[in-house]
Structure 1
């Protein structure tokens, strides 16, 4: 959290300031208003009166009073940050905002380069401020401050391993762009960049309080064309330099499968082109670990859908449903089930791949559908109710 003077009393520094302001003819309520800027626990008027009656308190110098007023007037009313006390945090926020704005700008061509450089600056300032407040010396005897690459390797690094891995890759990308051209590498690193943004906002809130979040300062970028991923892949064949492909391979090889699946490391979104209700038809960014994130598993996924996740053909699924429910359940009943619960389209549908991914997927290569254990359990539970089983068997 952002550390402020939380005690409802004047500090030894403030008392001489108050004495000087009283001599200048300031009213008690005006001094009280000035002192309470940026304070967690405000002081009351009695504290001003105490200073007025205490003859042992000497007035501050004129220049000290002027600086005190300037510093008090430098609080951001939204974030609570002060230009003099929180300069690193202010710079960290601005650097990340610049990184995102540069990447989202339709007129700039050096998107990956700009983001890589600015985000490294943002993370460096953020961690410098954290370690400085923890009493760690961030500047050595040689006058050089702790490097970002050093801070993510410390035993007391305050964030997750996924965040550290993401930052390490951002450092590699930055080091590469300092000496080489990236051409159109923006898409290739988008997942890393998006994870860096989400990690940064989560980290700054975790370490310094929710008031300093960037959520209200940034928005989703709009565009004039539809995203055509097949075209993007074709473009990358010609526009990604060899040294960038080598960097991407190096990044990919040094992490385990579990580390690469960490959403703190690389952000992934699955876009489902399906009809939806008005309330769910807009973009939503949801934390994967939350209850809502787990429920909307077909929008945000931590894993890639694979054939192994849907191993059962219709006849196999019907057999398992019979075994788990203890009821007579035929392949015909299975057809009635997917029709009743609408988990896949009809065989003559134009878009045969529009399935309910919670239970079923379509295989374009051999033109059939397979089902998973969740589907078997779902139907077995449904037909345990005789009335529901009768309704299912009447489905046409």
Structure 2
């Protein structure tokens, strides 16, 4: 048997409003449409007819009716938030949007300050709304509204320790970077900022509904320079003021290794060349708590590169290429091949590990390179396709 959906009922406040709207000449269907705006349990026309027949019910004042209409028209059609009922959540979302936009802006220089300040505002509004709905008040014994630093320590705090640790760092960063010289240390906090964004979006959805997600309103920032990961790592070693280095040390040392590894605390983009070349690599942002995020997190704890995935030393690789291609192929030809297709650096390169992991890896423990089956097949295919080499006794890669 199909259970009939429960209908809504008019509240004591709404009945006099309906009576006044009827007195103004509103039709039943128009009143019904107004009342059901963003209403969970909608009412039907019969409820309005009941009010119409109730001669003892007094209509609401003109001011009350006018405010009711204004309030009903103040719902955001995307989020369902009402400016009068949900002002904190509206301000919370806007503060986080400002935090991200200021950090992503190519012309703004005060990125860390802007993000830290705005994200603190965003989290404060969000948690104030949660605590008022859950506990009933957001005012401490001193008569002041609860501080963000106080709310993350309360027993009723609804989020994980990793989220709390990340918010605590945002508070400390805000307090330490305001009105101070940062030079180029903004990027030093990027992983914390990214985690803060993901945590905020996840938290506001879990606490107040999926419609409040910011994912459709913010996008990844584009840039006009090619992102070179080696250069980025080198850049982080320089131009960091002493007080920022001190702050980094404090943030790092007060957590356990397990807490520092929490994806809710610090977001990590794992850029790996273990299974792809640089030209094929790309970023993908995934919520740490999602099924895919948990799967990736568990995979990252395993050793990805295994010797059995790249089992062939150069001489063995050359022999297999000769066997599969049916042509003469020496170790010298093999050297010509990896040079031509640039799958590994030269032996005197500063960083010998920058190989094309589709085909080859470097072993720092014994200082040599090994190759996989994909490399064997790749070279064999090149030999078969290159008609220039078919009449030569040996294959040349120049």
The interval holding the TM-score normalised by the smaller chain is 0.7 to 0.9
Please show how residues 1-396 of structure 1 align to structure 2 within 5 Å: 8-140=8-140, 142-272=142-272, 274-275=276-277, 283-288=283-288, 290-293=290-293, 302=300, 349=338, 350-352=342-344, 353-355=355-357, 362-364=362-364, 366-368=366-368
> 1:96, 1:197 within 8 Å by CA — same for their partners in 2?
yes
How big is each residue's C-alpha offset from its partner over 1:272-294, in whole Å with a ceiling of 9 and x where there is no partner?
A: 463599xx865432234555446
Partner of 2:385: none
> 2:165, 2:265 within 8 Å by CA — same for their partners in 1?
yes
Q: Distance in 2 between matches of 1:43 and 1:30?
A: 12
Stretch deviating more after TM superposition (179-188 or 152-161): 179-188
Tell me: CA distance 1:361–1:268, structure 2 relative to 1, closer, same or farther (3 Å).
farther
Instruction: Please give the secondary structure, in 2, of the residue aligned with 1:239.
Output: coil
> 2:286, 2:293 within 8 Å by CA — same for their partners in 1?
yes
> 2:264, 2:288 within 8 Å by CA — same for their partners in 1?
no
Q: How many residue pairs get matched?
A: 338
Tell me: CA distance 1:270–1:19, structure 2 relative to 1, closer, same or farther (3 Å).
same
Instruction: Using the TM superposition, give the Cα deviation of residue 50 of structure 1 relative to its aligned residue in structure 2, in angstroms.
Output: 0.5
Instruction: Using the TM superposition, give the Cα deviation of residue 313 of structure 1 relative to its aligned residue in structure 2, in angstroms.
Output: 8.5
> 2:195, 2:267 within 8 Å by CA — same for their partners in 1?
yes
Instruction: Please give the secondary structure, in 1, of the residue aligned with 2:96.
Output: helix
Q: Distance in 1 between matches of 2:181 and 2:75?
A: 41
Instruction: Using the TM superposition, give the Cα deviation of residue 186 of structure 1 relative to its aligned residue in structure 2, in angstroms.
Output: 1.5
Tell me: CA distance 1:289–1:64, structure 2 relative to 1, closer, same or farther (3 Å).
closer
Instruction: Please give the secondary structure, in 2, of the residue aligned with 1:255.
Output: coil
> 2:75, 2:81 within 8 Å by CA — same for their partners in 1?
yes
Q: Distance in 2 between matches of 1:276 and 1:192?
A: 25
Stretch deviating more after TM superposition (189-198 or 221-230): 221-230
Tell me the C-alpha RMSD between the 2 structures. 3.4
Tell me: CA distance 1:276–1:112, structure 2 relative to 1, closer, same or farther (3 Å).
closer
Instruction: Using the TM superposition, give the Cα deviation of residue 141 of structure 1 relative to its aligned residue in structure 2, in angstroms.
Output: 5.0
Instruction: Please give the secondary structure, in 1, of the residue aligned with 2:187.
Output: coil
Instruction: Using the TM superposition, give the Cα deviation of residue 181 of structure 1 relative to its aligned residue in structure 2, in angstroms.
Output: 2.3
Q: Which runs of 5+ in 2 are unaligned?
A: 1-5, 325-333, 345-354, 372-398
Partner of 1:326: none
Q: If you compute each CA radius of gyration, which structure gives the higher value, 1 or 2?
A: 2
Instruction: Using the TM superposition, give the Cα deviation of residue 314 of structure 1 relative to its aligned residue in structure 2, in angstroms.
Output: 9.5
Q: Distance in 2 between matches of 1:94 and 1:291?
A: 28
Instruction: Please give the secondary structure, in 1, of the residue aligned with 2:343.
Output: coil
Partner of 1:394: none
- TM-score (norm. length: structure 2): 0.75
Stretch deviating more after TM superposition (37-46 or 360-369): 360-369
Instruction: Using the TM superposition, give the Cα deviation of residue 212 of structure 1 relative to its aligned residue in structure 2, in angstroms.
Output: 0.6
Q: Which runs of 5+ in 1 are unaligned?
A: 1-5, 319-330, 341-345, 372-396
Instruction: Using the TM superposition, give the Cα deviation of residue 240 of structure 1 relative to its aligned residue in structure 2, in angstroms.
Output: 1.4
Q: Distance in 1 between matches of 2:66 and 2:46?
A: 24
Tell me: CA distance 1:127–1:195, structure 2 relative to 1, closer, same or farther (3 Å).
same
- TM-score (norm. length: structure 1): 0.76
